[in-house]
Structure 1
């Protein structure tokens, strides 16, 4: 039986979580946020209890090295304390609320600080909601806030239903059932960033099947099929599939593990189907993940011979071309490209380069590359300096990733600030009035960094005004957050709020 109570504060240090930490993500909608100091990763899944409310299970992973640790003189230990608040809202009404404190274990000086994990289960009725996550590091006062739309939650009592699929690094038979990470006798070690690198050779996942009495079933036997497919498609990859026969039951928990050592790098889905004896699909659910497997080179379907990449014979030039793709590459593509450059095999490099552009424009990959190459040359002329090409600068990266800004204001000289520049985009990926503030703390006119942005997935820095003026205010605490209504620099604030 599921426990839908709000769980008490809980922490874990799991040494097994060695995967790269993407800074903050609502997994399914692929949104990430850089909290600058406190680095977190969040994932959530929906489950149901027949005759009761559904619930959302929220898993949070905090990078222990990104927290401040206070010294305890009594035992010479150090401890981090993070205040966390979850708000689930609908039309400005709070549906669920939970505020708690996440404490790290006590560390001695020099101890390795790993990740902290927390899990909460909140009962929510069916509907569409927003989730707001607020955090505050109680040892240094640093705060973050992020709000995102949740996937709609709906369970039909008149149909076979599936919960969301929780993918994991491993799932073990639990030794203790009172552990909040235990569900139906299973201890689940979640994979919150849905990334499986070269060292991950197994993919485990958990889900639940719901069959309700209201269905009045004449046949209570069902076939549950699960497989790994290409993202958004149904074709099984590398013959990774299995099935299980189940009898109708209000809740049937299912756990499965696939070996993925022969799964090439790419983006995939775990696909689950429930079928009846007629092989009709009664319910379907999928969740995405990324795989990086550089030891398995699988380009059998990519023939570069006779294509435009076949004429690129200079390995150094081709390597630079591949590096120039980083601003528009996915995380998996970036890692795979790094591996190609490490192997330094020009044939594999050609195949990767061709495959990259064929995935963007299967009919005219060369034309797509040449259009992008023109933009690369532009940013090199505008932002490159010394031996640094333009695409490796922050302004060059933003320009290539999002296109030229609709408006920008450069402030290279101002007596009390570092050089800075503000860019405005009227639209970015469905977001309106998005802005970037670049600054140069080194005072070099070409060495600009992103200081603050309101674009999802970019640096969000609530104390950017303090950092901008710290050039002439060496004693200023630039970790302080600007309070509501407070203006630190009139001109910078005006240009940020009214870019032109």
Structure 2
């Protein structure tokens, strides 16, 4: 496996040198479609209107710079794109409301055009009559490529009491002020991010006492902490903020649960989110899984079993040391790791078979080690032959044949 690691490092080094020497000054609008990472992040928040005949609908989006199409213009890199948000009555084709934004992003450094930590964010806020709708948020590049998100939305006032969706946000200071809240559209939080909060609204016809119970759970639904507070509504719509701390929480997936009891009604709301390492690849969301993914490039596979028994801090230290050695000399502290886990994620999205994750399949292994094939030849069922695929890597002088067996494509061993 050491030879594979050397080849992998050499491959990435060559790619890096080629990209640095290239005069290419355009970035494709979506370079990694199908990688498991969305073209843009998006959320839709329903809340209460100014009276019982309407409701408020907020649509937010976040698109990272590595998803945009940039062009060289007057010594800078410019991306122009349009964003539209349309609302249709369910089953109809003409929107009842539609709004547009014309966006322009300008950066001076070429490397910023491929930076997933830089992003454009905006939102639409509409008041609509209660009813059933279909919404469409569309982002269209200058070249005409577009990506959209379609959702069905229903809102009725079933009674005089109610609770909105939950919104995850961060505050620039320890003082939580509605005017300074920054929505976290992707529901992904850097581990060193402080001042995190949950925002929601309560509907009541008069001032009433209510109880809020909230809890933080990990992806296995194990309780991390919980609390309970008693409060009183103020006016028709009460705006509520719950601040919580991420101290000592590990990277991974979490669920925040809020239960509100008011008079004889009980409302439950959940919001999932992910804690990630601030300075590492956005593709990693689980440390144990990220370590298991290294099986194709470690010198000794038994090492991984040993490392997985370490405590969290020891695992993280080993992981950082491993990639520190691999990335050494690449010119970018994370470029090899970024690409490796992009390939893992792509494999999970495109090659999973039943309960077997894509990175564990034969096609996933080849894709992770060798990257995208120069050509894929697909052969469907014929009278005497089952489906199979041929992956060709011309520059390497290699090809791999995958036969369809029991619901999966297996590498033909010759």
> What is the TM-score when the length of structure 1 is the normalising length?
0.49
1:80 to 1:220, Cα distance in 2 relative to 1, 3 A: same
Q: After superposition, what is the alpha-carbon deviation per residue over 1:36-69, rounded to whole angstroms, capped at 9, x for unaligned?
A: 9994211221111241521221111111233233
Q: Counterpart in 2 of 1:367?
A: none
Q: Report if the CA contact (8 A) 1:163-1:208 is conserved.
A: yes
Q: Is the 8 A contact 1:87 1:131 kept in 2?
A: yes
Deviation at 1:136, TM superposition (A): 2.2
Compute the displacement of 1:250 (Å). 0.9
Q: Name the CA distance, whole Å, in 2 between partners of 1:53 and 1:69.
A: 40
Q: 1:341 to 1:419 in 2, by over 3 A?
A: closer
Q: Tell me, in whole angstroms, the C-alpha distance in 1 between the residues paired with 2:347 and 2:257.
A: 39
More strand by share: 2
On the 8 A contact 1:83/1:137 being kept in 2, the answer is yes
Q: Residues 47 and 286 of structure 1: is their aligned pair in 2 closer, same or farther, counting only changes over 3 Å?
A: same
Residue 337 of structure 1 pairs with residue 289 of structure 2: yes
Change (3 A) 1:128 1:267: farther
2:352 corresponds to 1:400: yes
Secondary structure at 1:54's aligned position in 2? strand
SS in structure 2 of the partner of residue 273 of structure 1: strand
Q: Find the aligned partners of 2:101 and 2:400 in 1 and give their Cα distance.
A: 44
Superposed CA deviations along residues 7-31 of structure 1, whole A, max 9, x for unmatched, are: xxxxxxxxxxxxxxxx99xxxxxxx
Superposed, 1:154-193 pairs within 5 Å as 154-156=155-157, 158-170=159-171, 185-193=178-186
CA contact (8 A) 1:168 1:191 kept: yes
**Alpha carbons of 1:397 and 1:64: their partners in 2 closer, same or farther (altered >3 Å)?**
closer
Which structure is higher in RCO with an 8 Å CA cutoff and minimum separation 6?
2
Take 2:390 and 2:157, find their aligned partners in 1: how far apart are those partners?
49
How far off is 1:269 after superposition?
A: 2.2
Report the Cα distance in structure 1 between the residues aligned to 2:178 and 2:164, rounded to whole angstroms: 17
Distance in 2, Cα, partners of 1:38 & 1:347: 34
Once the two structures are superposed, the pairs formed by residues 98-117 of structure 1 within 5 Å of their partners are 98-104=99-105, 106-110=106-110, 112=112, 114-117=118-121
How far off its partner does 1:207 sit? 1.1
2:377 pairs, out of 420, 424, 435, with 420
Unaligned stretches of 5+ in structure 1? 1-22, 25-31, 175-182, 214-218, 295-329, 353-387, 405-416, 425-436, 449-500
Distance verdict in 2 for CA 1:110–1:447, change over 3 Å: farther
Structure-to-structure mapping, 1:5-404, within 5 angstroms: 34=34, 39-51=39-51, 52-73=53-74, 76-89=75-88, 90-93=90-93, 94-104=95-105, 106-110=106-110, 112=112, 114-138=118-142, 141-150=143-152, 152-156=153-157, 158-170=159-171, 185-200=178-193, 202-212=195-205, 220-230=208-218, 237-276=223-262, 281-291=265-275, 332-333=285-286, 335-338=287-290, 346=305, 349=308, 398-402=350-354
Measured in 2, the distance between the counterparts of 1:70 and 1:283 equals 49
CA displacement at 1:351 relative to structure 2: 9.0
What is the CA-CA distance between 1:120 and the residue it aligns to?
1.0
Aligned-residue offset at 1:167: 0.4
What is the distance in 1 between the residues matched to 2:98 and 2:91?
15
1:214-268 alpha-carbon deviations (Å, 9 max, x no partner): xxxxx722222322235696x7x22243525123421111122211223355533
Structure 1 CA distance, aligned partners of 2:190 and 2:379?
A: 37
Q: Do the aligned residues in 1 keep the contact of 2:210 with 2:260 (CA within 8 Å)?
A: yes
1:79 Cα deviation from its structure 2 partner? 2.4
Q: Distance in 1 between matches of 2:345 and 2:204?
A: 55
Contact 1:169 1:202 in 2 (8 A): yes
Within 2, Cα distance between the matches of 1:184 and 1:153? 30
Q: Counterparts of 1:154 and 1:397 in 2: how far apart (Å)?
A: 33
Matched residue of 1:112: which SS? helix
Contact 1:271–1:286, Cα closer than 8 Å, also in 2: yes
- Taking a change above 3 Å as real, the CA distance of residues 110 and 144 of structure 1, as seen in their structure-2 partners, is closer
Which whole-Å CA distance do the structure 2 matches of 1:423 and 1:128 have between them? 43
2:407 equivalent in structure 1: none
Superposed CA RMSD in Å reads: 4.6
Show the counterpart of 2:25. Answer: none
Deviation for aligned residue 1:129: 3.6
Equivalent residue pairs, number? 299
